[in-house]
Homo-oligomer: A and B are copies of this chain.
Amino acid sequence: MKLTLAEPRLLKDSISIISDLVTETRIRILKDYVELVAMDPANVAMVIFKMPSSCFAEYEIKEDTVIAINLNNLKQVLRRAKPSDVLTLEKAEGKLKITLKEKTVRTFFLPLIDLEERAQKIPQLTAKATIEFQSTMLNDAIDDMDIVGESVSFLAQKDKLVISASGDLTKAEVVILKDDSVKITTETDQKSKYSIEYLKKMMQGSKLASKATLKFSNDYPLTLEYKETDKLSLTFILAPRVDND
């Protein structure tokens, strides 16, 4: 197995974001793409990352390969990659060999680990509301809610998305109207509530893509997708918070 990226930034940023949610994970290197599917330790959020083989300068595997690795280790090495470095990933000496090559050649060997848990299955979700908008709009709204509470409600209506939170005597609300740059698709009002702590980690995906897609139904898991066509997709699935009162 030998994968070479001419531009390491996207992988570097992706791993940095994912490692905020997941520490140890499997990475599958398949014929057409690299895939990482993992649950966070609390089983509240799932992350699905895909990078097509076409965006690698070199993509050489004999057969489908699965490696398991500590993402914090990987993040630390990738953080050392400069924009001008050529990055190569290889399996060598029973380790993951990472080479950063520019004028000097820098090599890192990271241990492969044994993961006991089984591979995660991606759930089939059928959300009733879909919103596609600038990824920074979501970041702004979540930062607004962060002043007020620990959970965030999304309410999708035909012509707007209402994001709200309420805390101890305080409350906050952002209204995002449907327009040319905000696409909202829903038949009926859909409302669900999610943990702001997780949303703050997920919204870092805005570093990867200028658009974000949000999908949810009433009290239903949220799907948040960041996608750069032909380059990568980073999707999060987040369990809803259902009030018992």
A residues neighboring B (CB under 8 Å): 73, 76-77, 80, 95, 104-111, 137, 140-141, 143-144, 147-148, 169-177
Contact = CB atoms under 8 A, between A and B. Distances in A.
Contacts of A173: 106-108
Given A76-B147, A77-B147, A172 B104 contact: no
A105 B77 CA distance: 42
B148 A104 contact: no
A148 to B, nearest CB: 7
11 contacts: A73-B170, A76-B147, A80-B144, A95-B169, A104-B177, A106-B141, A106-B174, A107-B172, A107-B174, A108-B170, A109-B170
A106 B144 contact: yes
Contacts of A171: 108-109
Nearest to A93: B171
Nearest to A143: B80
Nearest to A77: B147
A144 B137 CA distance: 36
A140 B177 CA distance: 47
B170 A105 contact: no
A108 B148 contact: yes
Given A73-B170, A170-B73, A147 B80 contact: yes
A74 B76 CA distance: 36
A174 B99 CA distance: 10
A106 B175 CA distance: 6
B108 A147 contact: yes
A176 to B, nearest CB: 5
Contact of A174 (B105, B111, B144, B175): B105
A102 to B, nearest CB: 10
A140 B104 CA distance: 10
B175 A105 contact: yes
A175 B108 CA distance: 12
A169 B111 contact: yes
Nearest to A100: B144
Contacts of A141: 104, 106
A105 to B, nearest CB: 5
A147 to B, nearest CB: 5
Contacts of A172: 77, 106-109
A232 to B, nearest CB: 24
